[in-house]
């Protein structure tokens, strides 16, 4: 039995506080012995649903970068946007190059804005990582 199945069984039986595997196994066996076939079928459906939910919320599908890295990204992107804006207005180059610098400056500013917004959301909702 893997960790996801164990977590689903604990949730289905309401045994989230039990950490000893032997105690968990005996408790589950006792409860299964007192169930009829219809209750067991409903329990299997519930366990399958819980396993599907756990797999849907696996760490790989909900990865979020650490707060410090978001702040570093925001600072770097803001600095880059400033340099690009300065370059777009101060260099003597073709209009195409200056417009490209300005567009990259806007994109860099949006990256900084998004990273900052994620950090503010985390702090406002006490979800600091």
Comparing 64 with 104, the larger pLDDT belongs to 104
Q: What is the pLDDT of residue 129?
A: 58
With 0-12 CB in 10 A as exposed, 13-18 as middle and 19+ as buried, what is 23? exposed
Residue 63 in this model has a pLDDT that exceeds 70: no
Q: Where are the domains of the chain?
A: 3-56, 67-124
Comparing 25 with 111, the larger pLDDT belongs to 111
* Residue (of 93, 84, 33) closest to 13 by Cα position: 33
Average of pLDDT values for 85-95? 91
Q: What is the pLDDT of residue 46?
A: 87
Q: What is the pLDDT of residue 66?
A: 84
CA atoms within 13 A on the CB side of 32: 12
Cα 4 to Cα 21, 26, 43, 96, distances in angstroms: 14, 19, 16, 55
> pLDDT class for 105, splitting at 50, 70, 90?
very high
């Amino acid at each position: 039995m893997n960790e996801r199945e164990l977590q689903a069984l604990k949730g289905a039986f309401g045994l989230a506080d039990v950490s000893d595997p032997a105690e968990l196994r005996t408790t589950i066996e006792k409860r299964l012995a007192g169930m009829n076939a219809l209750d067991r079928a409903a329990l299997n459906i519930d366990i399958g649903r819980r396993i599907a939910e756990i797999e849907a919320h696996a760490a790989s599908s909900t990865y979020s970068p650490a707060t410090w890295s978001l702040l570093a990204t925001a600072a770097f992107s803001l600095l880059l946007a400033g340099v690009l804006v300065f370059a777009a207005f101060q260099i003597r180059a073709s209009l195409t190059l200056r417009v490209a610098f300005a567009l990259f400056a806007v994109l860099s500013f949006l990256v900084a804005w998004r990273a900052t917004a994620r950090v503010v959301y985390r702090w406002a909702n006490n979800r600091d990582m």
